[in-house]
Structure 1
Amino acid sequence: MTPKDMLLGLAIIFAWGFNFVAIRWGLDELTPMMLGGLRFLIIAVIGSFFFKRPNTPWFWLLGYAMSLNFGQFAFLFTAMKFGMPAGLASLVIQSQAIFTMLFAVLFLKEYVRPYQLLSIGVAASGLAVIGLNGDDTTMTVLGFAITLAAASSWALGNVITKTISKKGYDANLNLIIWSCWITPIPFFLSAYFIDGADVMWQNIININWKTAATLAYLSIIATGLGYGLWSYLMSRYPAGSVAPLALGVPVVGLTSASLVLDEQISHIQWIGVLIVLVGLIMNTIGGRWLARRANQKI
Structure 2
Amino acid sequence: MLRRPPALLPLIAALFALYFIWGSTYFVIRLGVASWPPMMMAGLRFLMAGAVLMAWLLLKGERLPSWRAAGNAALVGILLLAIGNGAVTVAEHQDVPSGIAAVMVATVPLFAMCFSRLFGIQTRWIEWVGIATGLVGIILLNSGGHLGGNPWGAIMILVGSLSWAFGSVWGSRITLPQGMMAGAIEMLTAGVVLLAASSLAGEELTARPTLQGFLALGYLSLFGSIIAISAYMFLIRSVTPAIATSYAYVNPVVAVLLGISFGGETMSAREWLALAVIVLAVILVTLGKYLFPPRPRVERCK
TM bracket, shorter-chain basis: 0.7 to 0.9
Identity across the alignment (%): 18
The corresponding residue for 1:160 is 170
Determine the C-alpha separation between the residues in 2 that align with 1:228 and 1:183.
Answer: 17
Does the 8 Å contact 2:142/2:148 carry over to 1?
A: no
Determine the C-alpha separation between the residues in 2 that align with 1:138 and 1:127.
Answer: 11
Structure 2 counterpart of 1:230, which letter?
Answer: Y
RMSD: 2.2
Q: Which residues in structure 2 correspond to 1:141-290 (within 5 Å)?
A: 141-164=151-174, 167=175, 169-170=176-177, 172-196=179-203, 199-200=204-205, 202=206, 206-290=208-292
Structure 2 counterpart of 1:154, which letter?
Answer: W
Determine the C-alpha separation between the residues in 1 that align with 2:295 and 2:114.
Answer: 25
Q: Which residues in structure 2 correspond to 1:41-80 (within 5 Å)?
A: 41-51=47-57, 52=62, 53-55=64-66, 57-80=69-92
Does the 8 Å contact 2:73/2:177 carry over to 1?
A: no
Q: CA deviation at 1:273?
A: 0.9
Does the 8 Å contact 1:63/1:160 carry over to 2?
A: no
Does the 8 Å contact 2:74/2:185 carry over to 1?
A: no
Q: CA deviation at 1:229?
A: 1.4
Determine the C-alpha separation between the residues in 2 that align with 1:172 and 1:288.
Answer: 26
Does the 8 Å contact 1:119/1:283 carry over to 2?
A: yes
Q: CA deviation at 1:148?
A: 0.8
The corresponding residue for 1:15 is 21
User: Secondary structure in 1 aligned to 2:292?
Assistant: helix
Determine the C-alpha separation between the residues in 2 that align with 1:245 and 1:208.
Answer: 31
Q: CA deviation at 1:231?
A: 1.4
User: Secondary structure in 1 aligned to 2:264?
Assistant: coil
Runs ≥4 residues deviating over 6 A:
none
Aligned length: 284
Q: CA deviation at 1:36?
A: 1.2
The superposition leaves residues 134-189 of structure 1 with CA deviations (integer Å, 9 ceiling, x where unpaired) of 16x8962221221111101111210232122xx4x336422111222222222122
Q: Does the C-alpha gap of structure 1 residues 20 and 46 become closer, same or farther in structure 2, counting only changes over 3 Å?
A: same
Q: CA deviation at 1:105?
A: 2.3
Extract unaligned runs of 5+ from structure 1. none
Structure 2 counterpart of 1:256, which letter?
Answer: L
- Which is richer in helix? 1
TM-score, normalisation: structure 1: 0.88
Determine the C-alpha separation between the residues in 2 that align with 1:172 and 1:160.
Answer: 17
Determine the C-alpha separation between the residues in 2 that align with 1:124 and 1:172.
Answer: 35
The corresponding residue for 2:106 is 94
